[in-house]
Chain A
């Protein structure tokens, strides 16, 4: 299972970034091997359209699940809903904790999928 987690830093000890479009990093992690790739978000300081471009970036990486803090903005959601990425919001703490919680089945997707 490939997760994408919005993060404030480039490693698994970083905190989950509550923002999606302007998240500092996107961490793509394999839940089995815990191998991960941290991508610095080039859109975090964008004048506008950050959600759109971040949405495109995440969709290109094709994760199964997206984990973030706050709700996803409407523009980013337009992009993400073109795929079957499961969106989980309202997550805080470290990236590592988020992965563990996800593996234990403690994180549930929001109403986005309906």
Chain B
């Protein structure tokens, strides 16, 4: 089962929920857990999980190189480029690598076979373990702007498929998604069995939650909401969720002890074990939701 944790707004507690959830359910020996930090622009789950990293593999994309002895400046490569990264001039070609998605369309379109592709590293995937949890995080190279989905796609190839019927062990993959609603988020949550949307009871939290809900509806992913740093204003979120028939799966109150622990990189379940039960409950609620709707 793949559970992704997303939010519209940044800083609502995605990583907090993802980290505490995986730590809580991995105690159960019938679950084999994986954790993917897909916020490749700013991966931070490692601060809390403190993984042993045992492997680092670069991720690269292919980008075009023009062979000017063959090029006739016909312009077909520029027309083929969906990202407007190529300009063909009278006797020069400018390629804007920061816009290139590495799709290879230009080299297919070139009738003179004048475009070859060379690989360029855009980031790295690091993997290791946190106890028996498999830990995977992506890191984007500095200066890269449009390549996060490529790293995320590579990371997701490592997701373990659910066990066979006979096997008692269940694979659970927790995906910590980036904030927002753009391509990296879509790539992260795509093909999840369920997405937890973490929000805070503020007008900003609600505004961005609505945007995230719209994305998940389009992707047809079942969802539920966790209200973090909750309190007397929770109804901003709960009224909306009631109207939209989105379940509120968990509420975490504004709590100084949680904040202090967070600032030291300590997950809340380690300062207050009762939270571990709450996070297990969160998981069971998701499992129930999916069983009721016949998703699994």
Contacts and interface: CB of A to CB of B under 8 A. Distances in A.
Contacts of B83: 47-49
Nearest to A53: B84
Chain A interface, >50% SS class: helix
A23 to B, nearest CB: 15
A59 B73 CA distance: 14
Interface in A75-91: 75, 78-79, 82-83
Interface string A57-82: 00100000000000000010011001
Contact of B78 (A48, A56, A82): A56
B88 to A, nearest CB: 7
A102 B35 CA distance: 63
Interface of B: 78, 81, 83-90, 92, 94, 96, 99
Interface residues of A, number: 16
With most chain B CB atoms within 10 A of its CB, the pick from A49, A53, A56, A75 is A49
A49 B94 contact: no
A43 B87 contact: no
B60 to A, nearest CB: 21
B88 A56 contact: yes
Given A56-B87, A82-B89, A48 B94 contact: no
Contact of A53 (B87, B89, B90): B87
Given A43-B84, A56-B78, A49 B96 contact: yes
A82 B87 CA distance: 11
A56 B77 CA distance: 13
Contacts of B90: 59
Contacts of B89: 56, 59, 79, 82-83
Contacts of A50: 84
A14 interface: no
With most chain A CB atoms within 10 A of its CB, the pick from B83, B87, B96 is B87
A64 to B, nearest CB: 16
B99 A49 contact: yes
A55 interface: yes
Contacts of A52: 84-87, 94, 96, 99
A41 B96 CA distance: 20
A34 interface: no
Contacts of A79: 87, 89, 94
B85 A49 contact: yes
Contacts of A82: 89, 92, 94
B63 to A, nearest CB: 15
Nearest to B95: A52
Given A56-B78, A78-B94, A79-B94, A48 B99 contact: yes
A46 B94 contact: no
A32 B2 CA distance: 69
Q: Which 4 A-B pairs have the closest CB atoms?
A: A49-B84, A56-B87, A53-B84, A52-B87
Nearest to A74: B96
B145 to A, nearest CB: 10
Given A48-B83, A48-B84, 11 more contacts: A43-B84, A46-B84, A49-B85, A52-B86, A52-B94, A52-B96, A53-B87, A56-B87, A75-B96, A78-B96, A79-B89
